Copies of this chain bind each other. A is one copy, B any other.
Amino acid sequence: MVFNHPEMSKPFLEQLNWRHAEKNFDAEKTLEDAQLNAILEATRMSPSSFGIQPYHVYVVSDASVKTKLRAAAYDQAQFTDASCLLVFASRTDHMKRVDQYFEYASDGDAETREKLKGYEDMMRGFIQNMPQEAWKPWADRQTYIALGFALAAAAELEVQSCPMEGFDTKQFDEILGLPEHMKSVVVLSLGYSDGSPARSKVRFPEDDLFTHV
């Protein structure tokens, strides 16, 4: 994938009030490749604990697959009307992921990898010390940082989006043929609004959310 930077109208911080969870996508409108690629690039570049990026994203544009997913998601129209669905799956093959990380970090060079051994051992120690039942929630949390970056990128590009958790994750895993170590956790639908007015935005005030110390 070649990353072509699309023309941008306004920075992310100027898009905070406009963006919202889009409920009414125009099923006829399709994202441009440059927009989708920019959103995926923001996802790819998002930070994660130790940088191990314990997730995989299914980028669903195929109409028949979207129809199957909708049936496993309480028939919510966004699943077929959105131009594209990013189905985020979190991974639990952390030790294999560490190995892959250092393969990339050393560019496959044994000497470079040896120099990174202290860091690798520390990372493995951290994961081994984590109780097994914490492995998936930890991966889920890292996945949601990537979701946040995808949402921020979509807002900057003035692409409408809607993050969605209301679906049968097991059915999604089956439909997409996920391997055992990946489980779908959240979907980001992307596209263009059909022009219906959005529900007005509610956000908690500063004094509810922040305490200055």
A residues sitting closer than 8 Å to B (CB atoms) are 1, 5, 8, 10-14, 16-17, 19, 21, 38, 40-47, 49, 51, 53, 55-62, 65, 100-101, 104-105, 137, 140-142, 144-149, 151-153, 156-157, 163, 165, 176, 185-186, 201-206, 208-213
Please, how many angstroms separate the alpha-carbon atoms of A165 and B208 in the complex? 24
Which of B45, B59, B204 touches A100 (beta carbons < 8 Å)?
B204
Residues of B within 8 A of A151 (CB): 46-47, 145, 148-149
**Nearest B-chain residue to A87, judged by Cβ:** B213
Chain B contacts for A40, CB-based, 8 A: 206, 210
Could you tell me if A59 and B213 are in contact, using CB atoms closer than 8 angstroms? yes
What's the nearest-Cβ distance from chain B to residue A90, in Å? 10
18 A-B pairs besides A104-B205, A137-B140 with CB distance below 8 A are: A13-B157, A16-B42, A53-B209, A56-B208, A56-B211, A57-B209, A57-B210, A57-B211, A100-B208, A101-B202, A104-B202, A140-B141, A141-B185, A144-B144, A144-B147, A145-B145, A147-B148, A148-B148
Decide if A62 touches B213 in the complex (CB within 8 Å).
yes
Query: Measured between alpha carbons, how far is A201 from B8 in the docked complex, in Å?
Result: 25
Give every chain B residue within 8 A of A206 (Cβ-Cβ): 1, 40, 44
Closest chain-B Cβ to A128's Cβ sits at a distance in Å of: 15
Chain B residues in 8 Å Cβ range of A147: 144-145, 148
Question: Are the CB atoms of B146 and A12 closer together than 8 Å?
Answer: no
Q: Which residues of B contact A100 (CB under 8 A)?
A: 204, 208
